Structures are given as C-alpha cells and as structure tokens.
Amino acid sequence: MNTPAPGKGVNKAVAIVSKPSKPELEHVVPELLDWLKKRGYRSVVDEETHRLAPNTTVVSRDELASHQLDFVIVLGGDGTLLSAARSVARAAVPVLGINLGSLGFLTEVQIEELYSTLEAIDRGARVVEDRSMVHCEIFRNSVCVGSYDALNDAVVGKGTIARLNHCDVYIDGTFVSSYKADSLMIATPTGSTAYSLAAGGPILMPTVAAFLVTPVSAHSLTHRALVVPDTSKIEIVVMTGAEQAYLSIDGQVGMPLLDGDRILCRKSEHTVKLLRVQKTFFDILRSKLKWGQR
C-alpha cells in the first residue's frame, strides 16, 4: 500500500539495526547518522550498532517496538532483518533492508542505493508491503509453554544427528500424515524463498494467502511440500520417544521439544511491513536466483 512520507517536523525518528561484523559499517553508520540528522530525523541504534555511534541513544532490539519510529533501517543481511522485523511487527513499524550480505531476498537495496532510496522515502515515493507471519504455540501436557511469531518459517528439527524426526500433522483437525524426516517446517510466502526452497518447496508470491508444510529429507519419497490456505490451523504432534526435538523460529530463536508436545500454527495477527521503492518480486527473483534475462 502507498503511504505518506514521514512528517516534516522534529518528531521524525528512525532506528538503525546492523550486523556488527561488516567492516564497511565503520564509515556507513556515521555517514548515515549525519544524513538523517541534517534531514530532521532523530536516530536511535541497537546495541550491536552502538560502538559505531557512541553519542546516539541505544535501544535493544526487543524494546524498539515501544519507541515512536517512522521506520527501521537494517544494515546487514536477511538474518539481521528477520531479527529486527520480529521485534517491531507488533508496533507496525516499516523496515528498510540494506543488503550487506550475499543473497538478500529481504534486504534488497544495495549499499550504493542507500541514499537515493532514503531520498525517495523522505519525499513519499515509497510502498509499504505487508508480509504475513506464522504464529506458533507450544503445548506440553495441555499447558502453553511457549509462543513465537516467524516471518520465514517455524522448523521442527531432530535433536540428534543420527535419528529421523517423527511428527504427525493435522490440518484444521483432520489428520494429514505421519512424517519421518530430518525436519518439518511451516513456511510463509516470504519463507518460501528461504529454507523451504532449499528443501525443494515451491516459490510463492508474497501476496499469496497460504502456508507451506515442507518436509526436509523425508524418509518417504511421496512426501512433498503441501500448500494450505493461511486460514488453516496446523497442528504438529512431536513423537520423539526418549529423545528431544527442537523448534527453530526463523533459524534464530526457539526451544527444545519433548515427546507428545503439540505445536499449533496459525496466521499471526501481526504483519511485517517492508519498505519498498521500485523493485518487484520478480526483479528480485531474477537478480538473486540468476534467472535468464530477456
């Protein structure tokens, strides 16, 4: 959807989140802070960025949603953006991803395009694209012991190297199948170009109202990725015996799982708002996947 430019008063505010291992940040961050200050923005930075901006207010990523922000600038790769996006989704703060990584499906703006992109955003030439998330609740003996929102995927993986993961899957209360695989994931359309793609799943346009149920290295050759409406309620029953499994959220956070645990997945009430300027989804696919050009 089209959105107006940030206000022209002194209340404009931006957060900068970065991946600290990138050497180019040594000059990018100070220059960016100066650019923002000259255009009337108040800036805050996350803890990882603070060493490069010692005189700037520091806010942990978990607390970003409590601040009045016009948008968040992510300097890094898709992993950095996933972390920031989960933190601010509940506050509906738009996120701009600047790619300092390699592939970068989500951090689509290249570093040399940083200031032209910010100029466009500042004058209102921007689009905010809503990306759906999957909400997962973990029940153990009928008690909810954890809940998470994922932008890419929720993955139930094996806890040891040697054994297969065993899960029963239900869709809207109806039994689907018993899966034996290295892992089983519930992926969003955004996540269809991440781990699910590597596991042989299809690519979904971000606007498709669906989730993917994708097994990884399934024991049965007939098990394939399953596309279900995002109105579905997906239940995964973990069957590990004496072993542990593990729930991974966007490959970054999660928790151990025990035999009999149930993971209930549904569409989250929150969305991630990605700031876009010009590129289409297919532009990104051609660029990142090296599809043939006309």
Instruction: Compute how many other C-beta atoms are within 10 angstroms of the C-beta atom of residue 4.
Output: 7
Smallest CA-to-CA distance from 233 within 266, 261, 267 is with 266
Return the bridge partners of 58, or none.
45
Dist. CA 70–CA 13, nearest whole Å: 5
**Residue 54 identity:** P
Active site residue 261: no
What Cα–Cα distance (Å) separates residue 186 from each residue in 18, 135, 152, 241, 254? 27, 10, 9, 22, 14
Return the bridge partners of 262, or none.
139, 237
Measured N-to-C along each axis, helices 25-38 and 114-122 cross at an angle, to the nearest 10 degrees, of 20
With contact defined as beta carbons under 8 Å apart, do 29 and 53 qualify? yes
With contact defined as beta carbons under 8 Å apart, do 183 and 156 qualify? yes
Active-site option among 46, 70, 78, 149: 78
**Catalytic residue IDs:** 78
